[in-house]
Structure 1
């Protein structure tokens, strides 16, 4: 059976999935370690606590930090393995059925929804910016745009041809779209928390 030409393989997507997965997994791991610290010695300073505004403790010790009855980072430890595995599989010339891409995209949409909720809670309720949480946000946002636009342009998601063409055009602009998304979060945080004024 002939191999798929390298030009037709989504190499850039595969590499991005691996990188995003590693960043997200490491952030989840770091948060899990910090959570263990709060449980074993509540008085010990956390490595991610830099100020009243920039810290992890408030987030980890809040109910929002254990939304499903266990620490949120545990979700990340499990979930971030998926993009890593998929990325490695794509580099190995694996191909996936449409239902698989749809299921993966649904998971990514769920991850983005969860992150948006966490951003809202962190900025508007807890009044803090958790460094490792922000690393998770920073990995999830481009993951959503990349996977969704890829699936739209490739026809894995059932949309009209016109929508596929738009997605194809936007796919090359994922870095700019991601940057714009980051700026929205930064502006909201600045307006609510006056981050610059606290420096």
Structure 2
């Protein structure tokens, strides 16, 4: 990752407005869904609103052995991921010239997509069930990955 800092302001070049709005909106929606899933995990009185049939079954997926990783509920990991990515997609973070913020943002979405691959594999190949709320989080994670990678590609193109 090249450092693309404006010589006078010490800031990174301006990002397209669509990128700022889209990534922050996706992050906040992911955070909200993860909070809902986390609450449902800890409070058995909360029943996930989810259409159910032979394939779609949120309760089966969210209560399976794959709903925890090393004793940590997957929704809690999602909550932590989206809290971090929300901070990393604020306008301040996008404008920062710090390469560390860019590396952490890029690394976070890469790890997020790899985790999505693992979770979708568990849902489809092992459980044979799909959770619509989980799928929404997966789609948001992949979209964030696309936005962050597109921005890195744009930045590299500007410095070439």
Question: TM-score normalized by structure 1?
Answer: 0.65
Which of the pair has more CA radius of gyration? 1
Q: Distance in 1 between matches of 2:151 and 2:47?
A: 43
Deviation at 1:33, TM superposition (A): 2.2
Asked whether the equivalents of residues 48 and 55 of structure 1 are also in contact (C-alpha less than 8 Å), the reply is yes
Alpha carbons of structure 1 residues 153 and 61: separation in structure 2 relative to 1, 3 Å: same
Q: Which runs of 4+ in 1 moved over 4 A?
A: none
Match 2:24 to one of 3, 18, 22:
18
RMSD: 2.6
Deviation at 1:18, TM superposition (A): 1.0
> How many equivalent residue pairs?
150
- What's 2:126 paired with? 125
Higher relative contact order (CA 8 A, sep 6+): 2
- What's 1:146 paired with? 147
Asked whether the equivalents of residues 15 and 95 of structure 2 are also in contact (C-alpha less than 8 Å), the reply is no
Deviation at 1:45, TM superposition (A): 5.2
Q: Distance in 2 between matches of 1:46 and 1:108?
A: 26
Q: Where does structure 2 lack aligned partners over 5 or more consecutive residues? A: 1-7
Asked whether the equivalents of residues 49 and 57 of structure 1 are also in contact (C-alpha less than 8 Å), the reply is no
Q: Secondary structure at the match of 1:8?
A: coil
The reply to whether residue 29 of structure 1 matches residue 31 of structure 2 is no
Q: Secondary structure at the match of 2:96?
A: coil
Q: Secondary structure at the match of 1:54?
A: coil
Larger helix proportion of the pair: 1
Q: Deviations over 1:19-40 (max 9, x none)?
A: 11112112211211221244xx
Asked whether the equivalents of residues 56 and 130 of structure 1 are also in contact (C-alpha less than 8 Å), the reply is yes
Q: Distance in 1 between matches of 2:141 and 2:29?
A: 10
Q: Deviations over 1:82-130 (max 9, x none)?
A: 2322333348x83231232122101110000000111111011111110
The reply to whether residue 101 of structure 1 matches residue 87 of structure 2 is no
Q: Where does structure 1 lack aligned partners over 5 or more consecutive residues? A: 156-163, 166-199
Alpha carbons of structure 1 residues 152 and 45: separation in structure 2 relative to 1, 3 Å: closer
